[in-house]
Amino acid sequence: MATIACYSSLSLFFLSLCLHNIVLTNAFNGGFGVELVHRKSPKSPFYGSINHVNKGSAPRNTPEISLGWDEYEYFLSYSIGTPPFQIFGFFDISADITWMQCKPCSPYEQTPPLFDPLKSSTYKTLPCSSTTCTSVPNTTCSLDYKHICNYFRDDYISRTQGDLSVDTFTLKSTSGNLMQFPRTVIGCGHDNLAAFGEEISGVVSFGRGPTSLVSQLDSLIGGKFSYCLAPAFSHPNSSSIIKFGNDAVVSGEGTVSTPIYQKDPKASYFVHIEAFSVGKERIELGNSTLGSSGDGNAIIGTQEVETYFPNDVYSKLASAVKRVVKSKRVRIRDKPSILCYDSGSKPPQVPIITLHFKGADIQLNALNTFAPVAKRIYCLAFTNICHKKPYAILGSLVQQNFLVGFDLPKNIVSFKPKDCAK
C-alpha cells in the first residue's frame, strides 16, 4: 500500500473564469474526449516496471494461485499548476474531490516526484471562511494562524487529508488541444494511504458533489460524460476514451438506459437491479437483501474490478453458475469464496449472465464475467461483499466493451455494446 498525500478545491468563480479567460478552440462545440490509460499501456507509468499475471506459470494440478486484479485499473493523465506538472490519477466515478500527493507530506512511497505547490504560481489554498469550504463535507479549519480549509476522505482504495485548494487543471484532448481550467478545486494531500501503486498520485473525481471534476465542468459539458473501457488484455496500443459534453451522448442501436438514483454514499451513482439471469435461469431479487426498495441498490464503480453482491445474492449467483459450468474447480489462496475453474486446453464454456436493471437488460459475456488469472485458470469476477449495507457494487470488468454514458440532468445512465479497443 502506497502512502500518498495531496488535496485541492475549486472556487465558485471557476466556471466564469473558464469561459472568459481560456481559449478552448472549438473543443466545446460538441464536447471533447480524453484518453484513459490502462495499467498495461505503453503510456502507463507502470509500463515495463510491473509484474503482470504470468499466464503460463500455473501447472494444471496447482491447487492454489493468486489473483492479480490490478491488471484491470485505469488512470487519467493531467497536469496541475503553472508551469504544468504532470500527474497520473486513478479514474474514480465515486469520488467527489480530485486530489494528488503534495509536498510536504508524511512518509510515503511514490516513484514520480511529488507536486510542490510552492512552485506553482497559480496555486492557492482556500480559507475556512470560503463558500467552497463550508459546502464540502468532512472539512475542518487548520489550527494555525493561516486558517486553511482542510479536507479528509477515506474510502475503498485510499485515505487522504490535506489542504483544499485551487489551481490550474490541464487536460490534453484526443484531438491534441490543451484544455486549461483555472481555479479548479483540488485536494493537496499531505497525509495519505492508497492501494493503487507507487506511480499513481491520487484520484480524478467523476462522482457527484460540488467539487468533483464533472460538477466543476457542468456549464461546459451540460452534465454529460461517457467512457468506454477497453479490455485489459487488448492490444497494448489500444486506448480507452472518456468523452464530455454532447460527444458523450450514447444512442443508436443496442442502447439501453436506466434511472440513476442518489443515496448514501452521496458521491456515488446508484442504479436498480431487479433480477439477474444465468443462461436461461432468471433469479428475482425481490426477497433478497437487494430487493428491499426500488430506488437504487447498486453502485456503478471504477474503484473495484470485481462486482460485489451481498452474501445472499452472491450465493444465488454462484449456485446458478456451478450448475452450468462443468470445468474443474480451483481454489484461490487469497479469496477462497471466488469461483475459479481449470478450463483445460480451451477457454471455459460459460453462460451469458444478464443483469436486469429497471428498464434495461445488459448481457454480459465471458469477457465481462470471467477473468484469466493463469494458464487455463479463469475466475468468476463476482464475489460477496464485505460490508452489510444493502447495495451491490458493479466493478470495471463488467463495464468493459460497453459505452457507458451519464446524462445527469435527465438522471439516466445508458449502455451500448461496443468494441472499446477500436
- pLDDT value of residue 11: 38
Alpha carbon 65 to chain centroid distance?
Answer: 26
Which amino acid appears at position 313 of this protein?
Answer: V
- pLDDT value of residue 98: 97
- pLDDT value of residue 235: 65
As a whole number of angstroms, the distance between CA 76 and CA 241 comes to 10
pTM, two decimals, is: 0.87
Is residue 401 left, alpha or beta, with left meaning phi > 0 and alpha meaning psi from -120 to 50? left
Residue 307 near residue 397 (C-beta atoms within 8 A): yes
Phi, psi values for residue 374, rounded to 5°: -165, 175
C-alpha cell, 33: 474526449
Cis amide bond preceding 45, omega within 30 = no
As a whole number of angstroms, the distance between CA 392 and CA 91 comes to 20
- pLDDT value of residue 164: 98
- Longest CA–CA separation in the chain, Å: 68
- pLDDT value of residue 42: 62
Residues with pLDDT less than 70, the chain: 1-29, 40-71, 107-109, 233-236, 347, 387
Q: What tens digit of pLDDT does each residue of 383-401 get?
A: 998 767 789 999 999 999 9
| Cβ atoms within 10 Å, residue 22 | 14
- pLDDT value of residue 19: 37
C-alpha cell, 409: 440532468
As a whole number of angstroms, the distance between CA 6 and CA 108 comes to 12
DSSP assignments along 211-245, one per residue = TSHHHHTHHHHTTEEEEEB--TTS-TT--EEEEEG
Contacts of residue 316, defined as CB under 8 A and 6 or more positions apart, other chains included, come to 283, 288
| Cβ atoms within 10 Å, residue 125 | 23
Burial class (CB in 10 A: 0-12, 13-18, 19+), 144: exposed
As a whole number of angstroms, the distance between CA 243 and CA 35 comes to 9
Cis amide bond preceding 83, omega within 30 = yes
- pLDDT value of residue 5: 33
- pLDDT value of residue 21: 38
